[in-house]
Amino acid sequence: MSWSWVLTGAMAVAWVVAANVALVGGKLRKSFSKIDTFLILAITSSLGLGLG
């Protein structure tokens, strides 16, 4: 597998994750305060990076 395919796949995954965080972040802002939303998104992202 060439590096261009790996880079393309990584970029696609990054866009999907960013879109999902934006959608979920909007819904969370309606239910939680700003600090709660930040903590939920930060912890979720950290866990994903740490376990991935």
pLDDT in tens, 3-51: 788 888 888 888 888 887 777 777 766 777 888 878 888 888 888 888 8
Q: Is the dihedral of CA 42, 47, 48, 52 positive or negative?
A: positive
Does the pTM exceed 0.75? Answer: no
Measured CA to CA in angstroms, residue 50 lies from 17, 42, 46, 47 at distances of 15, 12, 6, 5
